A and B are shown apart, each in its own frame.
Chain A
Amino acid sequence: MIFAVRRRAAAIEVGRRRAHRGIVALVLLILVLPMLVPHDPVAQDLHNALQAPSLHHLAGTDQYGRDLAARMADGARRTLTMSLIVVAIASLGGVAVGLVSAALPRLGRAVLNRTVDIALGIPALIVALAIVGALGPGQRNLVLALILGVWPWYARLARDHATSVERLPFVQAARVGGIGHLRIWAVHVAPHVVRRLLVVAALDVGYTVVAFAGMSYLSLGAAPPTPELGVILREGQDYITDAPWLLWMPALAVVAIVLPFVLTGERLHERGVIA
């Protein structure tokens, strides 16, 4: 029995590491990809506009004769980097708020919880829309808007997880053993929550890529001619009759980035690593 449990724990641990490996490889690949494409993502070449994919232009060219492969590689890196920034800051901030609320006495806890609840009452993309509307469209403003849109989720998750960890036997044992509230919180509860939320945040990068590209597609993020996947899709939409690859290729690129995150998430769910 105990061996079975240990074996299962080991399997989960290995699964977690392998899952990380796939995502890390993908991220690294996307970060170096722009260096491997021999074209300039913004250099125009009007003589060769709207060329179908060929050996010279692997993904064809757009309406200004820009190499689509170069634009996609650069755009994928931009979208992914921005999403990583969003997830990193939002999850750090959110988890910090959630953990602090778990450490506070009752009144402070209630105030923070109410704030998070109100923030959660506004759907994330709507928050992003409102903030971009206030600050004006742009890549940096969109990053800020998405951070403000998603942080409450991490706060709520961290708080919920902290409350459930507080009920676990080892925490109660520590309490019975006379260890102080703050020390229990810092040594026993917080590391648990952070570790769990780290996995969640890593998987959320995929969804953030979708949100970032989506908002850019709505012309609320990076502006043309900046290569960004949403912007490329927006521009490609005008040429669906003459140059369908301008839509297919970036669509495939988005899916190629998001799919590994989703697959990993699915596997972790099946193994019971995350709820």
Chain B
Amino acid sequence: MSAFRSHPAALVAAGLGRWFLSTIAMLLGASLVVFGMQAIVPGDPALSLLQAGGGPLPSPEQIAAKRREIGIDRPFLTRYVDWLGDVVHGDFGRSWTKPADVADLIGPRLGTTIGLAIAAIIIAIALTATSGVFAALRPDSLTDRLARMVVVVMIAIPSFVIGLLVLQFVVVDLGLGQVLATTSLSGALIPALILGAVMAAGWSRPFRAIMRDTTTAPQMVVARARGMSRTKATLRIALPAGLLEFMPFIGLAVGGALGATMLIEVVFSWPGAAAYAVEAARRRDMPVIQAFTLVSVTMFRLSTDLLAAARWSLDPRVRIHEGTPS
């Protein structure tokens, strides 16, 4: 039995099985929370939707019709089970405020949000790696200190404030409004750069700590003893090991990135799903908010777990010391 258990394939299968079950449980829990928000909506959503555009007080018949239209005339649990069944099939219901399916409203915009987040993460990794290498090569040098100062200031300036200031600088001071058009390459790059820089600032401290530790690791000592230059050893040996160790942080940061994306999309008027969800929240369009929240939770979960799994398969140290990921 124990021989069978320690077989790599069995370990992976068991790990995958456990992961699958816990992910399902997690998503079910999250969906209940997300859908449960409908239950805490104060007052009658049908009434507030009908009155959103101003106008006269709607008649009881109108309210009843609206309640039927958005489906809140049925008991909560029935609604939840129906909704869940539809969601499994990719149907997130109809918007409360627009005559369209939620999937058609959110779906096409999702690519923009995911693209922005991925571009930002790649930029952030590049920036973090660079500053980490500098910290490992020349700790407490002028560059290192300067980098640390920039990081502290970057953490203190919220991403949307940076966005606004860049917007002002580019549009007003340089008079280059067209540079920020969402269709142009620079228009896509600038928001991603801002998001990436802010994320990198947050990552800087943990990554620098990891890199400092790797410089004194045995494999570095051996490489140096055998004549590898300090720079080369740092780039070829310490950096890959450090990045591997850093992978879980990247997965966790996706959660924060989703929130920051929301703000950056609105600042730069991007036609993304996050900006649309913000708009929906202002109109209290619950189906849209539910869909966006559920999609975000799934993306967050997938990215953390994929990175953990990738690290597990790439980094033998984890396999030996920590066993299968759960």
A residues neighboring B (CB under 8 Å):
114-115, 117-119, 121-127, 129-137, 206, 210-211, 213-214, 217-220, 233, 237, 240-241, 244, 247-248, 251, 254-255, 258-259, 261-263, 266, 269
Q: Are A121 and B281 in contact (CB under 8 A)?
A: no
Q: Are A259 and B153 in contact (CB under 8 A)?
A: yes
User: How many residues in B have their beta carbons less than 8 Å from beta carbons of A?
Assistant: 51
Q: Are B296 and A123 in contact (CB under 8 A)?
A: yes
Please, could you name 7 A-B residue pairs with CB atoms under 8 Å apart, sorted by A? A121-B301, A125-B256, A126-B297, A136-B48, A214-B158, A217-B160, A248-B168
Q: Contact partner of A118 among B30, B277, B284, CB < 8 A?
A: B30
* Stretch of B13-21, B36-44, B188-196, B239-247 lying at the A interface: B36-44
Using Cβ atoms and an 8 Å threshold, which residues of chain A touch B263? 214, 217-218
Answer whether A130 and B278 are a contact pair too, CB < 8 Å, given A121-B297, A255-B157: no
Q: Contact partner of B161 among A125, A220, A254, CB < 8 A?
A: A254
Using Cβ atoms and an 8 Å threshold, which residues of chain B touch A115? 29
Q: Contact partner of B26 among A118, A241, A261, CB < 8 A?
A: A118
Q: Are B289 and A137 in contact (CB under 8 A)?
A: no
Q: Contact partner of B171 among A118, A131, A240, CB < 8 A?
A: A240
Q: Are A123 and B300 in contact (CB under 8 A)?
A: yes
List of 4 A-B pairs having minimum Cβ-Cβ separation, nearest first: A125-B259, A133-B281, A123-B255, A118-B29
Using Cβ atoms and an 8 Å threshold, which residues of chain A touch B286? 133-134
Complexed CA–CA distance, A124 and B262 (Å): 12
Q: B266 contacts the other chain (Cβ, under 8 Å)? A: yes
Distance (whole angstroms) from the CB of A114 to the closest CB of chain B: 8
Answer whether A219 and B282 are a contact pair too, CB < 8 Å, given A124-B259, A134-B40: yes
For chain A, what secondary structure do more than half of its interface residues adopt (helix, strand, loop), or is it mixed?
helix
Q: Which residue of A lies closest to B281 (CB)?
A: A133
Q: Which residue of B lies closest to A240 (CB)?
A: B168
Q: Are A123 and B172 in contact (CB under 8 A)?
A: no
Q: Which of B34, B42, B158 has the most CB of A within 10 A?
A: B158
Using Cβ atoms and an 8 Å threshold, which residues of chain A touch B30? 118, 121-122
Q: Which of B157, B172, B301 has the most CB of A within 10 A?
A: B157
Q: B152 contacts the other chain (Cβ, under 8 Å)? A: yes
Q: B179 contacts the other chain (Cβ, under 8 Å)? A: no
Encode contact with A along B288-326: 1 for CB under 8 Å, 0 otherwise.
011011001100110000000000000000000000000
Using Cβ atoms and an 8 Å threshold, which residues of chain A touch B114? none
Q: Which residue of B lies closest to A258 (CB)?
A: B156
Q: Contact partner of A220 among B40, B205, B278, CB < 8 A?
A: B278
Q: B164 contacts the other chain (Cβ, under 8 Å)? A: yes
Complexed CA–CA distance, A117 and B300 (Å): 13
Using Cβ atoms and an 8 Å threshold, which residues of chain A touch B228? none
Distance (whole angstroms) from the CB of B304 to the closest CB of chain A: 9
Q: Are A269 and B258 in contact (CB under 8 A)?
A: no
Q: Are A121 and B168 in contact (CB under 8 A)?
A: no
Using Cβ atoms and an 8 Å threshold, which residues of chain A touch B296? 122-123, 126
Using Cβ atoms and an 8 Å threshold, which residues of chain A touch B84? none
Distance (whole angstroms) from the CB of B36 to the closest CB of chain A: 9
